[in-house]
Amino acid sequence: MLCPNDELNSYWMQFLETHPEKRVDLLKAEELFRKFKFSSYHLDEAAKERAVVRLEESLRLFHRKRKIRKIFITAAGSVALLLSIFMLIQNLIMKSEHFSDTPIDYYVGSELESKEIQLYTGNQTTTFEENIDVTIRSDQLIHVKKENSSDADEITTDRNSINRLVVPHGKRSKVLLPDGTQIWLNAGSTLIFPSHFEKKSREVTLRGEMYAQVSHDPERPFLVKTDHLDVKVYGTGFNLSAYEDASPWIVLVEGSVGIKSDKGSEMKLAPNERAVRTENGTLERSWVDVNSYVSWKDGYLTYHETPIADVLKQIERYYNLSFNLDDNVSLQGMTCSGKIILSDNLDNVLTALTLISDTRYYREKKSIYIYKSKT
């Protein structure tokens, strides 16, 4: 470990052989130990007391809102001292808490329990384990095809019913509306839509992210409502993101759209433009490479100097993961440039991430650790 000798090396080798699942925690504990700067593995009583004082001071910084009880170390041997502190650090790691003024050199992620796609039609609720394609037919039937099956379900619906499709993290779906408009729903999204459009307008409500190829109809504008943006479309292709935990934005691929913020005036976009709603409610426009915003529907993600935290947030939605995207992680300044194929194999995706971000990853059961590559 920190001050190796034959005895300690033998001890830790036997420990890891007996507890291989503790390897990652041991590496993180070792990293934290180095911040205490022990000068020798042999400590006399006075040195032990000074080490305890330093440890308590570090813990006071960590627990600013909690009281720390004094830690007594009674073992005389250096191995016992090291193991005691290691167990303390391991407990802190398991609680997902970190020193407030010390950068952490890794992201920790976990695989979440899979949830089903839910389709609400009138007073009916139908669930699906796989990604689905939904077709709203004019004969008051909803045709649902599962991704990896030739079978299809048919759901009877009322002409005037309002339907709701809920796509959880880790899933995707596609919807063909009765006017011919196609909508791709990304992970973590909800779409509310009618079984039949009225003569004057076509309106849906979104929470999450979608790509839409709107059927042209100059007499009936296509309207998309979100919590903070309203979009008016006349036949176009665009990507709209309206997740609760991020600023909403829209990218126009072709055609023309009008956007109105809940606190601003309407703005019209041209192809290859992106508009994002700022914190004060105004809209900011910029020219972008639209492919990097819409490629997810075609099975891959494209990045150019994108902060790694933004990449991980996108990956965690797509694969139903959860990462500790805290501000005090030292990887915050790192960026990603390249392409990630959205494979069904998560290890392939994580390997691609390490290649475009100069990081490494370690996966153990449902936990994922992402580290900066050592140079």
Assign domain 117-293 to its CATH architecture: Sandwich (2.60)
Query: Which residues, 6+ apart, have CB-to-CB distance to 139 below 8 Å?
Result: none
Q: Residue type at 320?
A: N
> What is the residue-level pLDDT of the chain in tens, covering all 375 positions?
445 556 666 666 777 677 665 665 666 565 555 444 444 444 556 655 665 566 556 555 545 444 444 444 444 444 455 555 555 555 545 544 443 444 556 667 777 677 899 999 988 899 999 899 999 987 788 999 998 888 888 998 888 889 999 999 888 999 999 999 999 999 999 999 999 898 788 999 999 999 999 999 888 889 999 999 999 997 799 999 999 888 999 999 999 999 998 877 789 999 999 999 988 888 999 999 999 999 999 989 999 888 888 898 889 888 888 887 665 556 767 889 999 998 888 889 999 988 888 888 888 878 888 887 765
Radius of gyration of the chain (CA): 27
Q: Is residue 166 exposed (0-12), middle (13-18) or buried (19+ Cβ within 10 Å)?
A: buried
Query: Which residues, 6+ apart, have CB-to-CB distance to 65 below 8 Å?
Result: none
Amino acid 98: pLDDT: 40
Is residue 63 within 8 Å of residue 288, measured between CB atoms?
no
Amino acid 69: pLDDT: 42
Amino acid 6: pLDDT: 64
Question: Given phi > 0 = left and psi -120 to 50 = alpha, else beta, which region is 89?
Answer: alpha
Half-sphere exposure of 247 (CA within 13 A, CB side): 14
Has this prediction a pTM greater than 0.85?
no
**Phi, psi torsion values for 135, nearest 5 degrees:** -120, 125
Q: Write down how long the chain is.
A: 375
- Fold assignment, 295-372: Phage tail protein beta-alpha-beta fold (3.55.50)
Half-sphere exposure of 147 (CA within 13 A, CB side): 11
Residue whose C-alpha is closest to residue 350's, from 371, 326, 374, 328: 371
Domain ranges within the chain, ordered by starting residue: 6-102, 117-293, 295-372
Amino acid 19: pLDDT: 66
Is residue 233 within 8 Å of residue 212, measured between CB atoms?
yes
